[in-house]
Amino acid sequence: MSLTFCNVHFTQQPQRVVYVSGSLMKNLKLSGKKSVHLRFGGERIPAAVKPINKAGKHLYLGSGIRKEIKIPKAGGVFLRSLQEGEVQIGPLIGVLSDGPTASASSPFGSRTGFIKQLLRYGSKQSYIFAFTPRDIHWENETVNGYFLNEAGNFIRKKVPLPDVVYNRLPSRRAETTTSITQLRERFIRRRIPFFNWSFFNKSDIYRMLEKDTLVGRYVPESIMSPTPDQIKDLLDRHSLIYYKPNSGSLGHGIYRLSRIPKSGYYARYRKSGKNALLRFGSFAGLMRTLQARHGRSLRGYVAQQGIRLIEIDGCPIDFRFHMHKNGRNQWVVVGIGAKKAGKGSVTTHLKNGGSLLTPDQALARAFGSRAEEVLKNAKNVAITLAEAIESHHQHLIGEIGFDIGIDMDEKIWMFEANAKPGRSIFKHPSLRAEGRASVEHILEHCLYLSKFRRRES
Ligand SMILES: Nc1ncnc2c1ncn2[C@@H]1O[C@H](COP(=O)(O)OP(=O)(O)O)[C@@H](O)[C@H]1O
Ligand SMILES: [Mg+2]
């Protein structure tokens, strides 16, 4: 297979004809050929080939062709020569997301800015568009996509099914519906790579990793749907535990439970935007309060050994490791944010009064001259964790956001793996370049999955 970057131009020719410059003819091994099959996304048509005398790599598409296979615009793209006489134009990349309203300027809600950034970068070397589940027309296998025009605004264009889908569907609940399950299966059946498959569940990840001999040691001891006896036992052994919802996010519903001998049991949690702390004389009293607050939904909770994190000014710190797969299908740590908990907060979320630091700032305070070594080790652990999750998972994963803790003994702990990590760490002025690198990695990985990137043999 060969890959060539070229300039696509449009002509008014109504016939199914492509004009190909001399050097491009040679590159595509079309010299002497009269016809070619052109592929774009899920479309394929035959066309006549006419060589033209022009320096550089240029392809002129007659309107007959362009309309039929729905090439959205002229400009620089890749050509991939497949078997004898077949040339694929692309890649055609689809970013799947959704928004709360059907607004034309911001169809993807709070994700619109990130999606525009992806489209802006991606347009330089691909045909990239965003779409919602409602924009797919399965009968004629087309998508009414959102492209970005020169002015940075969305314009709708009908294109074939894409070569690869980057999934950023925002709703955990919607993702479990039959219509979304069916949507994913339809892409898979057509052999269109689809990543990431879906949100992760905390207990699925813990269960998957705790048995893994390589990474099990990085997962705090966890019990899914624990009975009160099991919670008490965990608390007796560790004196600090986290009690959290399986499919929660943003710290919602999380409790930090502790036992202090001769004093009693304590529960820290977030209530109406404030930090609450309750003391109980007995374990039964603590359980009664949790039952009263959550009832049956406690069945969807997991109890976990609490880790005593490193601290700055008495506030615990943990880290977001933003991982990507690169253009060679390898995991890399692309950005790290250190998150300092707000005073009295159970979690380090910025929404709960937390603040963002660079990892160097945080680790230098905690470990002094050992900081660099600790960070290097944590990066290696994060890569091993990502590889482990991928190897146990049945579907494609190209991005993971880990919540990682480090204790005073320099031990690394994984609290959560997010399949659709938020991007708030990249707002930190020192992490903007990492934010761009993250976008570049997503695109590189799309090129890899759609086979529009040279693979090392
Ligand atoms: N076992 C634990 N020990 C210490 N801190 C924890 C533990 N589990 C969670 N935390 C803290 O709570 C935060 C939120 O927990 P996490 O599992 O990421 O849930 P969420 O889905 O709400 O983000 C973590 O970033 C960390 O600061
Ligand atoms: Mg988290």
Tokens of 141: 């296998």
Q: What is the rounded CA–CA span in Å between residue 37 and residue 28?
A: 12
| Confidence label for 453 from pLDDT (cuts 50, 70 and 90) | confident
In this model, does residue 195 exceed pLDDT 70?
yes
- pTM comes to 0.95
CA torsion through residues 71, 193, 449, 88, sign: negative
Of the candidate ranges 92-106, 187-201, 204-218, 271-285, the one whose mean pLDDT is the lowest? 92-106
- Select from 224, 231, 346 the least CA-distant residue to 284: 231
Could you report the per-residue pLDDT of 78-98, keeping only the tens digit for each? 999 987 789 999 999 999 999
pLDDT of residue 179: 94
Question: What's the 302 CA to ligand 2 centre distance in angstroms?
Answer: 14
| Residues 340, 317 contacting (CB under 8 angstroms) | yes
Once rounded to an integer, what is the mean pLDDT over residues 53-62?
95
Which of 415, 418, 424 has most ligand 1 atoms within 8 Å of CB, for mutation?
415
d(CA 71, CA 38): 11
Please list all protein residues whose beta carbon sits less than 5 angstroms from ligand 2, which is an ion.
403, 416
What's the gap in Å between 430 CA and the centre of ligand 2?
Answer: 21
- Ligand 1 pocket by Cβ (under 6 Å): 220, 242, 244, 248-251, 254, 304-307, 309, 318, 347-348, 403, 405, 415-416
DSSP 425: G
For ligand 1, atom 26, which residue shows the shortest CA distance?
Answer: 347
Mean pLDDT of 348-366: 92
Rounded CA separation 405/401 (Å): 13
Find the helix packing angle between 202-210 and 371-392, rounded to 10°: 100
User: What value does the CA radius of gyration of the chain take, rounded to a whole number of Å?
Assistant: 26
Residue type, 421: P
* Number of the ligand closest to the Cα of 401: 2
Q: Which atom of ligand 1 is nearest to the CA of 249?
A: 21
Strands 58-61 and 17-21, how do they pair?
antiparallel
Among all bound ligands, the one having the nearest atom to the CA of 250 is: 1
Task: State whether the Cα torsion 340-343-345-351 is positive or negative.
Answer: negative
Is 80 exceeded by the pLDDT of residue 455? no
pLDDT (mean) for 227-234: 97
Any idea which residue has 């609290």 for tokens? 415
- For ligand 1, the distance from its centroid to the CA atom of residue 343, given in whole angstroms, is 16
| Confidence (pLDDT) at 456 | 56
Instruction: Give the mutation target among 200, 240, 254 for probing the ligand 1 site: most ligand atoms within 8 A of CB.
Output: 254
Asked if 169 contacts 95 with a C-beta cutoff of 8 angstroms, the reply is no
What's the average model confidence in pLDDT over 45-64?
94
Gap from CA of 263 to ligand 1 centroid (Å): 25
CA of 14 to the centre of ligand 1 (A): 61
- 354 CA distance to ligand 2 middle (Å): 13
Instruction: Report pLDDT digits (tens) over 314-323.
Output: 999 999 999 9
Instruction: Report how far residue 357's alpha carbon sits from residue 427's, in angstroms, rounded to the nearest whole number.
Output: 11
d(CA 326, CA 333): 10
Q: Where are the beta strands (DSSP E) in 112-239?
A: 127-131, 136-137, 142-148, 154-160, 164-167, 194-195, 222-224
289-332: pLDDT as tens digits:
999 999 999 999 999 999 999 999 999 999 999 999 999 999 99
CA distances from 367 to 379, 382, 387 (A): 16, 19, 28
Whether the per-residue pLDDT at 457 is higher than 50: the answer is no
Q: Coil, helix or strand for 66?
A: helix
Domains of the chain: 2-90 (2.40.40.20), 93-195 (3.40.50), 221-305 (3.30.1490), 309-449 (3.30.470.20)
Q: What is the mean pLDDT of residues 7-24?
A: 93
- Output the DSSP codes for 419-441: SS---GGGGSGGGHHHHHHHHHH
* Residues pairing with 255 in the sheet: 243
Candidate from 412, 416, 424 with most ligand 1 atoms within 8 A of CB, to mutate: 416
- Cβ proximity of 387 and 380 under 8 Å: no
Residue 36: is its pLDDT beyond 90?
yes
Residue 307 identity (one-letter amino acid): I
Output the residue whose Cα is nearest ligand 1's atom 8: 415
- What is the rounded average pLDDT of the residues 138-165? 96
pLDDT on residue 388: 98
